[in-house]
Structure 1
């Protein structure tokens, strides 16, 4: 009953999370209802997720549970959620931002956007992100800025969003390197794009406080091990996009091979928390992977798994004619 009790009191994201988990608890036979058929109660819970402004992860999981495959219907779900955002629009700020783009000053777009983003319309946000995306073909720093604009716009907007904003949120930067790495290591392109997006936001110069480097956020010691396996020159550059993607994808493919039942999702957990920890987290034989994810002892890894599943589902849907339901089922096998 918790999801119903908190529905009007908790945040949209929390309410939808509880609704999804409640539906799954009923489906798996871990809970009882007040007499309403369990299937009907579970459908009501998933419908709440799909109609609300929930996180992408719970939306794609609910799509899978409801077996929604129609592209138009899926698009409508992914582009909607919550109440329309209300704000005071500043026309002068929008004209200034558009002027920088029209006269070819990409270096001024992102700083100005950061200053004025709360008074910009959806169209103005998309135009800024689109322009920076185009400029990223010549300077990758603009690609990162484009993604940041798109991501913050989508996160802060509660109403219906244009399809283009979904594409700007899940770009395929470094596509030639990703395609080659996936072919070499026999891994899924949507999953590798999702991994890179989640690890570095496509920032080739990204570095973590722990020392991880580059697009796939490899620790130098891990990169060195993979470089030896691939017989790379001793002077390889870990920050070179092509090299980093090749090393990271090779490491990820190895984690899949070493994971129980060659589970892609377990390999993703291991990429974040280490294979030793994942092997220590014993999944009860009959527990589904989505409920197992909710029990992981590391909050960072739980959230990491959610981000990867959601992003992989989006990449599959936007570019590979793979429904979110198919991606979720593949990752939860």
Structure 2
């Protein structure tokens, strides 16, 4: 159902509420206001619940609550006149739980009209009367803006310094820095202003942010502005700017800026650093030949020892990405010669060589390299991974007894891969015709934990060996029902939870999530209520954390049909943003459970998630990937900020999964791997694996050379199997 349909349904239900429930008085003027607001073109309010729940909840609202709901809709829509009329007409005494919202909304509305002093008085009152309000940080930012407008620059500066450390996103941090900059320029602190401006410039992640920072030059006096315009093109500053672009995944923009930048550089050292950065951008954009030409050129010219190591490492990485393994090995040999007297560097380099040999299926060569690593006495994860890879090489070479010896050695140590080792020891035992011993290992894996990738594989092996397993009951005949107290009942225990309950009744999802995130009290008896409110109001990450942390005893065992325990498990593996997912899948054959599982692995349901390389949102999409996909019907131009919106992020994530499904038909493992590592890498891995006899998907996954992707695919499959169990999914993709 579209949002327009939801709102007209709401309008109908509100207008007919008096015939359904005699306690509700007809509110004809209010209905007309709501009708006019909701008919405004292009209005979407994803914070509202669906029509059915609005039918159940809105009919019970008091007049003041209905007015607050209408005011919130008007406020979100940007209908400031209507919002002002409503919020100033409501009396705080009639909405005691929502006083801080009324105060803050009024102050915002007054601020927009330039009524600084009136807004300032309300904000002071808010912070005094409601010190624990969720709006306090925003109130301080708004108050700092008012102080600035009133030319109280020092007061504004101190408030902004206080809230800067509490910024939750990069964009909020930059916004506060811009406000700080304006204050120090107004105070004539030009050196401080330049420092803040420099910080804004060198942390810009794309051209739009850089352009916005550059516009601040105009706030300097003319003479200083001219000096800054001379300072801005300085090579070192320009290099730091473009370096930030590259680090945040804006590779196309970084590349364009680097090409222009290198024409102006006189320093040979800086030029080589810029060329190295350009080569990295070319490689990220899969232009490997261009990257290699640049890298080989600067490798020959560079006399900088520290830079030389980075150049050689990048050459090895790029040649390997381009499947030119012999060339990669030549440069690995150069690194070994440079570090012949450094045992740590040598064993890391030899281990990397073994990894390249494994990628090529050269198991005998890899075995020799791994044996060399062990002679250099590795420890920790390197020692563990070296032994694991030795066991894997022995398994692939058919030396099963020797593989068992290494597996047993690993099982005798405390490490994080015991499930992996036990599963593959079981597979080797099968090869040795020791089926009963293998079955014991599989049963042990199956019964030990309620969730896990190798537990899932063990169940498949037991079924393949025609062994019965007692499947835990992961679905309930009765749905768990929560008792919802009135907000007034719980207000003395927790005002934040009381407000969350009221907003749940009003259907304002974002406000529920805001209040729950401020709920810090520990009341075990209230945990089920908190879990319910979070899961029903798009606060899926919060619900996941509550389910995982507050219900650990449930997490560590099978629920076996208990309705509440199953509900807790469903919040650890939720059908998150279900309406958006189903809408995006309307014309798709993809399984919704796959989308939920990818979301679980990518962001744990955080819409504001931002990776180190610039992947955004629930499904962690790179803007450069999303902008190449078919846009939503409501969009004219793609904007990276869209990816922070759950509906848009899910739309583009589904489109990308569909693209991968077409690229790798009937190979769901390849879709998942490519979503993380890229299509090109997965195409390489598939070609090599499919050349092998008796190709097995489990082996393909184990041989994924990128550690992050290797773990990622296993996480997605683990989550997918849990979704099948928890929601009785009929769709399925397995290892075939």
Please state if 1:298 is matched with 2:702: no
1:227-261 CA-partner distances (Å, limit 9, x unpaired):
459794215522221121111111111111112x4
Question: What's the counterpart of residue 266 of structure 1?
Answer: 670
Please state if 1:179 is matched with 2:592: no
* Distance of 1:8 and 1:55 partners within structure 2: 23
- Does the 8 Å contact 2:618/2:650 carry over to 1? yes
1:83-125 CA-partner distances (Å, limit 9, x unpaired):
xxxxxxxxxxxxx9x9449952664677747xx7xxx9xxx49
Q: CA RMSD in A?
A: 3.6
Partner secondary structure for residue 472 of structure 2:
helix
Partner secondary structure for residue 417 of structure 2:
helix
Q: How many equivalent residue pairs?
A: 290
Partner secondary structure for residue 216 of structure 1:
coil
* Distance of 1:321 and 1:250 partners within structure 2: 22
Q: CA deviation at 1:275?
A: 0.8
Higher RCO structure (Cα 8 Å, ≥6 apart):
1
* Distance of 2:681 and 2:497 partners within structure 1: 53
1:22-60 CA-partner distances (Å, limit 9, x unpaired):
222344x3xx3xxxx432222122012113248611111
- Does the 8 Å contact 2:603/2:620 carry over to 1? yes
Q: CA deviation at 1:263?
A: 0.5
Q: Pick one of 280, 290, 304 that aligns with 2:684.
A: 280
Q: TM-score, normalised by structure 1?
A: 0.74
* Distance of 1:99 and 1:190 partners within structure 2: 38
* Distance of 1:180 and 1:67 partners within structure 2: 36
Q: Map residues 130-279 of structure 1 onto 2, 5 A cutoff.
A: 131-138=530-537, 140=538, 142-152=539-549, 159-160=556-557, 162=559, 163-164=565-566, 165-228=568-631, 232-234=635-637, 237-259=642-664, 261-279=665-683
- Does the 8 Å contact 2:570/2:726 carry over to 1? yes
Question: What's the counterpart of residue 262 of structure 2?
Answer: none
- Does the 8 Å contact 1:57/1:309 carry over to 2? yes
* Distance of 1:241 and 1:310 partners within structure 2: 23
- Does the 8 Å contact 1:170/1:311 carry over to 2? yes
Partner secondary structure for residue 248 of structure 1:
helix
Partner secondary structure for residue 185 of structure 1:
coil
* Distance 1:133-1:205 versus aligned 2 partners, 3 A rule: farther
- Does the 8 Å contact 1:100/1:109 carry over to 2? no
Q: After TM superposition, where is structure 1 displaced by more than 6 Å over at least 4 residues in a row?
A: 68-72, 108-111, 154-158
Partner secondary structure for residue 262 of structure 1:
coil
* Distance of 1:228 and 1:159 partners within structure 2: 43
Q: CA deviation at 1:209?
A: 1.1
Mark the runs of 5 or more structure 1 residues left unpaired by the alignment: 79-95
Please state if 1:128 is matched with 2:531: no
Partner secondary structure for residue 587 of structure 2:
helix
Q: Pick one of 104, 113, 116 that aligns with 2:498.
A: 104
* Distance 1:159-1:255 versus aligned 2 partners, 3 A rule: closer
Task: Select between 167-176 and 221-230 the one with higher mean Cα deviation.
Answer: 221-230
- Does the 8 Å contact 1:109/1:128 carry over to 2? no
Q: TM-score, normalised by structure 2?
A: 0.35
* Distance of 1:7 and 1:75 partners within structure 2: 28
Question: What's the counterpart of residue 727 of structure 2?
Answer: 319
* Distance of 1:70 and 1:172 partners within structure 2: 32
Please state if 1:289 is matched with 2:697: yes
* Distance of 2:635 and 2:606 partners within structure 1: 23
Partner secondary structure for residue 233 of structure 1:
coil
